[in-house]
């Protein structure tokens, strides 16, 4: 089970931490990728190669967190990389950025990418509240990707 983060949004890191525990409890093997490399310039190819390699190595995955313009675009593009690898994929987006996510997905030929919509903003919420949100959204995530507990 792939969980992609860029390492910047502590709210998403908290949710990924909770989901990692849930997935392990449910018998899955979480594979967390922190894709914090450059997306432009000479280092972009290395970042994309790491994402593509990760996408090939997992059975299903989610990319997040889309909670600003550029992070939403890269969240969608990384979710599409999972889809292109032939794996069930979802992207985690806060409600404020769903239109942007849909636009990016349509632009790259994947208008039907599965989107898990979180409340906005997530960042700055107390840890306990984020862990509660993680628990609330975990079953939705599993449903979205067609997984069962």
Identify the structural domains of the chain with CATH numbers, from first to last: 2-145 (3.40.50)
pLDDT number for residue 43: 86
pTM of the predicted structure, to 2 decimals: 0.96
Rounded CA separation 141/24 (Å) = 15
Query: Is the model's pLDDT at 149 over the cut of 90?
Result: no
Sign of the Cα pseudo-torsion (2, 97, 148, 60, in order): negative
Rounded CA separation 145/148 (Å) = 9
Angstrom distances, CA of residue 137 to CA of 1, 33, 36, 90, 110: 16, 20, 24, 13, 23
Question: 93: which 2 tokens?
Answer: 């987006």
Residue 114's DSSP bridge partners are: 90
pLDDT number for residue 56: 98
Query: Is the model's pLDDT at 61 over the cut of 90?
Result: yes
Helix (H, G, I), strand (E, B) or coil at 94: strand
Question: 87: which 2 tokens?
Answer: 């794996």
Each residue of 19-43: pLDDT tens digit?
999 999 999 999 999 998 889 888 8
Query: Is the model's pLDDT at 52 over the cut of 90?
Result: yes
3-state helix, strand, coil in the chain (%, to 5): 55, 15, 30
């Amino acid at each position: 089970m792939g969980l992609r983060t860029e390492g910047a949004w502590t709210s998403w890191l908290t949710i990924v931490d909770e989901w990692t525990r849930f997935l392990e409890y449910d018998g899955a093997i979480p594979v967390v990728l922190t894709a914090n490399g450059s997306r432009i310039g000479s280092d972009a190819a290395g970042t994309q190669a790491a994402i593509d390699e990760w996408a090939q190595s997992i059975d299903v995955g989610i990319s997040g967190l889309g909670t600003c313009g550029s992070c939403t675009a890269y969240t969608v593009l990384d979710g599409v990389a999972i889809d292109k690898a032939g794996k069930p994929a979802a992207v985690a987006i806060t409600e404020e950025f769903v239109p942007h996510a849909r636009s990016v997905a349509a632009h790259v030929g994947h208008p039907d990418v599965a989107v898990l919509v979180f409340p906005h903003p997530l960042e700055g919420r107390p840890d306990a509240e984020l862990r509660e949100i993680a628990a609330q959204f975990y079953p939705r995530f599993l449903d979205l990707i067609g997984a069962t507990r």
